[in-house]
Amino acid sequence: MLRRWAYGLLLLLATVLLLILVAVGWAYGAGVRVSEPGWQQGLTLGQWRLIRDDCVAARGTDLTLQGVWPLKVKQRVLAVYNCGAGNAPGASGSPDGLPWTPPFDLQVAELDLSALITSLPVMAMQLHQQEQYWQLQVSAPQAALQAQYQGAEGQWTFNSEGALSVLLPDWQGHWQLHGEGSWQGEPGGDIQLEMHSAGPITQSQRADLAAQAHFQGADWHIVADLVQPLVLNNDWKLTAAEPLAVAGNGLALTNARGKLQLAGPPGTMTLQAHNDPGATNPAGLEQGGGTLLLQGDSLGGQVDFHWQDRMLVLEPASLTLPQNLTAQWQEPLQIPMAPSGRADLPLRLGYDGLNVKTGASQIQWQRAGAEDASQLDWQWAGDLSLQGLWQGYQWQGEWQGAVGSHGLEGEPIKLIARQGSDRLSFLMPVNTLQQAPYGAEARVSGKISGYPLDGTLAFAQSGAGWAGTLQASTTLPQFERGGQVAIKAPWSLADGTISVAAGSQASIIEGLIGQALIRPISLRASGPLQINEQGITGTVAIHGGGLLAARWRLPPISGTATMTGKRVQGRLTVSEWQSELRANGALENNGGASGTLSMRSALVPAMGVGLDATPRQGQLEGKGRWQWRQTLKASGDITLTGADLDWGSVTARGAAGVLHVEYDNGEYDNGQVQLSSTGPVTVDTLDIGTPITDLALTVKSDLSQWQFTDIRADLLGGYLRSPALDWPSARPQPVVISRIDLAEVAALQNPPPVSLSGRIGGYVPLQLGADFLVIEQGRLANEEPLSLIIPASSSVQAMADSNQAVKLALDSLSTLLISDFQARMAMDKVGWLDAAITIKGINPQRKSLPVVFNYTHRENVLALMRSLRIGDEITEQLRTENRQ
């Protein structure tokens, strides 16, 4: 018995040993290489490799054989590598289900398939088979797969779900996968895939996708659809107007058809494509066609296309695109469907009224490198010409160069804009063009609104708009010398509004307009200036150095102009004159403008530099309205108070009045200004050597013709009156004087040489010429008895002693009661004054001796003036002024 038991044990050991040897031999023959064998509660292998065709197809670490029946293997690490495609499925016939195996249980703690699918993480796997019922479980963080296979019936099912980032690291969302079918005879089954909230991490758009696939043997078809429209940027939605349907046999594609629709504010774009089932080689996509249809408010046109022999042909089309863009090609565009290629692109592009036409135009592309097939090197090269009408300007331009993935190169872009006599040239070197943000710098030269312009315009994309700096110079045509304007204005453009930055400045250098020297002027934006369809909003500070001419000067001025859309408020001050001018206005719909103005100024001597009068003091205030409609009109009232003025020795004190002023530079040919006093203009004292007091008159003038009416004044105890005096006048106009007190006449000299009493009056016809004064037959007479007393003095005695006749006359006239006084006077244009005086009376100290005194005098007043000492003073002034 013992012997039989021992024999049996040896036979069993031999069998096991034989089986082990067979297994080892089979494994070795299958390419399995092991190392570090051991025993720890079972056979262990520290390392093993599976080698196929000198390629390591799999590698294991820390394998433990925990049981033999059922076979139970525990593997800590299993890595599978790519050793080529191997035999294509079906090439040697697909297996009829999974092969028979003894029951087993395989556990892999770390399954590494990253050599096959780069993004796959390390997973845990359990594969269990018992009675040909296979169960597979694979799990990884955020992903899981369960599969079953019933070998007896050949039925299989699987379910899987997980995060998309497990398979596609740059994506987010989830997938759910379910499949079931049979693997007995010809394999077949159905697979459903759903993706929820799927999309690239870098983009906000998410989509829900559903796909169903069915296969039977080598035939298969897939239908994929967007469950809901995919919302893209700017209110665009992508929908599958028809699900994408693809069918094939093995690796060969037999049918494909799809229709996508992109809908947005401008309209819809519908892309429909299919392969050509009638092609000679239907097993693929080598031939097909489709249509791109554009419809909507801002979209229009249709592009028919087809492809064959790896060549995509776009039939001639004319498209309307958003932003008033159009695209057109009149010849079929042939575009190779290849990783590398080239194609001619004869295009016509339109924008608003602008048309861009390509001359030579070719695009070429090729893969950037072997490592990354998704990167393409591309380049368009050719020449462009532009012309058309835009923003009221006729545009013309040209460019020759190339643009592509490596940037832009070529000739400077040339643009010319014309409108009437306006002509602006833009020269834009392409090396100034920049990407991200897009920008450029253009040289600008030409003439706009009659102003020559030369400068640079830099611009670059900024946020949702553009920004840059305009640096330009121009010359104002009003200037005969100087007057160049330098402009420096940082600006930005967004939402149709141009914003000129605070501190932007336009400076006008000193120059001549006519014979006036205009000192430098600067305009500076105090804050940002907003320019849009509503107008300009912002404040500009103004500083001017003043004006200088041969006879007058305007001191420096400063002020501000505040614009609010189509309204403007301005304030200018002349500090040296204590003057301030305020104006406001608004643009009218008819292109004109209107508003109000007010001014307030002191009267200071410096104002008289260009006048024949010197203001000493006083106040000037004015209020009015103005209007611009092709011509400027203004009207208002100027109030003068407390004004003192000097015309040399002639002085006026306490002048006051209100003048109404009308200005119209389109109505009056002989003077654009009309002024008239409102009520009387009054002067407290007018001293012309003889004091005139309480002068009142009304005035009306167009600055060339002055009309003074209702003239009243007190004079030497009497008064003067004149109904009207015109200056200049063609005929004499009477001035009546009356009640002149001769005592006050005598008092004009101090001490009075004679003693006079009584009053005289008369009239003096005056002709006031432009530069002369004529007195025609002026007459004065006594209005009451007069008296004359010549007091004894040394000078009178000296006169009497000099001549006996004079002594006799002085004796007769020394005391005289005058009953009749007659004086006649006349003066012609050249200054000859003729005077004749007749005095009749009695001398009471000579027994009432009757006295008749006749006196005539003729003298040229102007010659007398020239002969006086002032002539010498003037001569000295002229002689020495060059050395002052």
Provide the binding-site residues for other proteins, judged by CB under 8 A: 480-482, 510, 512, 514-517, 548-551, 553, 609, 612-614, 646-650, 689, 771, 865-866, 868-871, 873-875, 877-878, 881-884
- Give dist(CA 142, CA 120) in Å, integer: 12
Q: Per DSSP, which regions of 716-758 are E strands?
A: 718-727, 733-741, 755-757
Task: Please report how close the Cβ of residue 488 comes to other proteins at its closest, in angstroms.
Answer: 25
Tokens 């043997």 correspond to: 217
Q: How far is the CB of 548 from other proteins (least distance, A)?
A: 5
Q: Which is nearer to other proteins, 435 or 882 (CB)?
A: 882
**879: phi then psi, degrees, rounded to nearest 5:** -70, -40
Whose Cβ is closer to other proteins: residue 335's or residue 517's? Answer: 517
- Report how far apart, in Å, the C-alpha atoms of 393 and of each of 421, 423, 433, 815 are: 11, 9, 24, 96
Contact 669, 678 (CB under 8 A): no
The dihedral built from the CA positions of residue 610, 611, 615 and 616, taken in this order, carries a sign that is positive
Give the single-character DSSP code of 300. Answer: B
Minimum separation from the CB atom of position 649 to other proteins (A): 5
**Dihedral pair phi/psi, residue 19, rounded to 5°:** -60, -40
Greatest pairwise CA separation for the chain in angstroms:
213
Our CB check for other proteins shows the closer of 194 and 646 to be 646
**Shortest distance, position 776 Cβ to other proteins, whole Å:** 21
Nearer to other proteins, 466 or 772 (CB): 772
Residue 748: CB minimum distance to other proteins, A: 11
Residue placing its CB nearer to other proteins in the complex, 687 or 744? 687
Q: By C-beta, is 237 or 553 nearer to other proteins? A: 553
Q: Which residue's CB is nearer to other proteins, number 20 or number 868?
A: 868
Q: Which is nearer to other proteins, 411 or 876 (CB)?
A: 876
Sign of the C-alpha dihedral computed for residues 296, 298, 302 and 303 taken in this order: negative
Q: Rounded to the nearest whole angstrom, what is the least distance from the CB of residue 638 to other proteins in the complex?
A: 23
Shortest reach from residue 865's CB to other proteins, in Å: 7
Cβ distance 222 to 256 under 8 Å?
no
Tokens representing 867? 């002969």
Q: Which is nearer to other proteins, 203 or 690 (CB)?
A: 690
- Determine the 3-state secondary structure of 861 from DSSP: helix
Shorter beta-carbon distance to other proteins: residue 470 or 517? 517
The H-or-E segment that residue 619 falls in is strand 614-629
Contact 23, 45 (CB under 8 A): no
Quote the least distance from Cβ 754 to other proteins, whole Å.
Answer: 20
DSSP conformational letter for 882: G
**Minimum gap (Å) between residue 463 Cβ and other proteins:** 47
Q: Compute the least distance from the CB of residue 881 to other proteins, in Å.
A: 6
Q: Is 132 exposed, middle or buried (0-12, 13-18, 19+ CB in 10 A)?
A: middle
In the bound complex, what is the minimum distance in angstroms from residue 520's beta carbon to other proteins?
A: 12
Nearer to other proteins, 152 or 870 (CB): 870
Q: How far is the CB of 877 from other proteins (least distance, A)?
A: 4
Burial class (CB in 10 A: 0-12, 13-18, 19+), 802: exposed
User: Of the candidates 820, 822, 863, which has an alpha carbon nearest to the alpha carbon of residue 842?
Assistant: 820
CB of 880 to other proteins, least distance (A): 9
The sign of the dihedral angle between the CA atoms of 106, 109, 112, 117 is: positive
Q: Which amino acid is at 649?
A: S
Residue 237's DSSP bridge partners are 231, 263
Closest distance between other proteins and the C-beta of residue 883, in Å? 8
Instruction: Identify the three-state secondary structure at position 203.
Output: coil
What stretch of H or E contains 461? strand 451-462
Residue 434 DSSP one-character state: B
SS3 810: helix
CB contact at 8 A, 766 and 773: yes
CB nearer to other proteins: give 551 or 731.
551
Q: Give the nearer residue to other proteins in terms of CB position, either 54 or 612.
A: 612
- DSSP line for 257-326: EEEEEEEETTEEEEEEEEE-TTSS--SSSSEEEEEEEEESSS-BEEEEEEEETTEEEEPPEEEEETTTEE
Query: What 3-state DSSP class applies to 226?
Result: strand
Residue in the structure block whose two tokens are 């002349």:
574
**Residue 179: CB atoms within 10 Å:** 16
Is residue 856 classed exposed, middle or buried when 0-12, 13-18 and 19+ CB atoms within 10 A define those classes? exposed
Residue 625 tokens read as 């309205």
Q: How far apart are CA 145 and CA 357, in angstroms?
A: 58
Of 614 and 729, which has the nearer Cβ to other proteins? 614
Nearer to other proteins, 649 or 804 (CB): 649
In the chain, the amino acid numbered 118 is T
Residues in the chain: 884
Shortest Cβ 685–other proteins spacing (Å): 16
Residue-wise over 411-442: b if at least 16 C-beta within 10 A, else e? ebbebbbeeeebbbbbbbebebbeeeeebbbb
Task: Tell the smallest beta-carbon distance from residue 884 to other proteins (Å).
Answer: 6
Least Cβ distance, residue 644 to other proteins (angstroms): 14
Whose Cβ is closer to other proteins: residue 190's or residue 480's? Answer: 480
- Amino acid (1-letter code) at residue 75: Q
